[in-house]
Structure 1
Amino acid sequence: MTVALAANAPTLFDIKSAQLPLVALRVKTDRLDQVADELAAQYADVPDFFDNDALLIDFSQLDTGHSTDPTPMAFEALLQAARSLRLRPVAVRGGGTVHAQLAEQAGLVVTDEVLPAKTTAITPTPSPSVAAAPAPTPVEPPAVAPSALVIDKPLRSGQQVYARGRDLVVLAMVNPGAEVIADGHIHVYAPLRGKAIAGARGNTEARIFALAMEPELVSIAGIYRTSEVPWPDEVLGKPTQVRLFSGPDGDKLVMDAIKP
């Protein structure tokens, strides 16, 4: 016997599942005060790198059996360092009991997993006597990628350009002491003599291209190399691409000459 129960639906609001894009800070040491100092130092010269992004602090890589529990002062220092960079800590994942307690005291959500919401489609079974017509496959319009940021003037020492969420194209020289940063690829159609940081938010597929590769530093997804180690003669001052290679020995930067 089926019983139908009367129900009332709210008319002024709805409760729905939602997905929130998060920036994840993966903590690799139990010295949270040192993490706070390094975080602040890393982005001190890029004040607009974050834009009130929601932050997940991830302690899942810590060995809680051999690590030291954080103090409230160290945990608060980490939160303050994040907020000073326009990050908004909202959740904590992993860690031990003390990490969870400090997170709850700070008003953060404690979660084991942050996963995208899943939708399950229920298809009715057709009657055996009636052939069901195939349901049309919905076609989603292709996402429009943001256009690249194009810079057509030389960048002098002390100047910095950041292409948030897109590629960066520079049509003039990047002089020593200048910095070009992008969440995607970096293309320099001129000599690259300053610093180039591609995949700034962890995009390991990002690459750096230059017509004359002579940089002070190149970095992709946090893996970097400086000119303190001389660049190979095969690429120095020549058209070159830099990419990230992941192998059994870890991540490393690979430089390939671009042949006409």
Structure 2
Amino acid sequence: MKPAFNVKSARLDTLSVQLLTDDLTLINHELKQRAERFGNLRNMPFTLDLHNLANPATLDLAKIVALFSRYHLRIIAIRHSDAAWVSLAKQHNIAFSILPEEQANNRVKAVADALDQPSAEVNDKNNSSVAASALPTLVIDRTIRTGQQVYAEKSDLIVLGLVSEGAEIIADGNIHIYGPLRGRALAGAAGNKETRIFAQSMQAELVSVAGIYRIFDQQLPAHLDRHPVQIFLQNDRLVLSAIQAH
């Protein structure tokens, strides 16, 4: 008999929400504040990054998943560096992804998207202290491949190669990409609204500055598509502007 289906390996490509607390009231408050920004992210799959939490026994995962669902954000997996969290995922019939401990602590690591950051009002007060403790610019001289994530903590990020589809680059500072940007780029991850993204060849899936997103599901206008572009905030709106050669 001819088989009805085949089972093959596949990469699960999701955005990630890094949970900083298990307080449902605080999480709900944050979701309410950011609800308008979630319009383009509705019904997309998310991984819940729990590496900041220590005890799976005290986490009410069902209520947290339901809370995100209320805002049309689908949690389909959890991630942690401790395999003790696997049983929690099994209890709720969702996937589990192991986050190596060195990735949870190193400067280049798998990280969440900017949804996990505190509100802009708080961060605006702290921008000067963040700048004071800024680290040297992180330079990546290779291709960022599909499924890879790079985080430049307290610094700018420069990528000299390609950012592939399904790859994600994040920086607390500015981002410069000198190869084609085909994946996701998130600048100002700590809430700094003055940061920018500079892309030599704009082909992105998603960009974000200080948590304000835009997803590109249609081709950009001709003067922006595959051209040098800068991305920044103006009156809390994301602006894409062509970089003109002089």
Name the TM-score, length of structure 1 as normaliser: 0.47
* The structure with more helix, counted as a fraction of residues: 2
Larger radius of gyration: 1
Name the TM-score, length of structure 2 as normaliser: 0.50
With CA pairs under 8 Å and 6+ residues apart, which has the higher RCO, 1 or 2?
A: 2
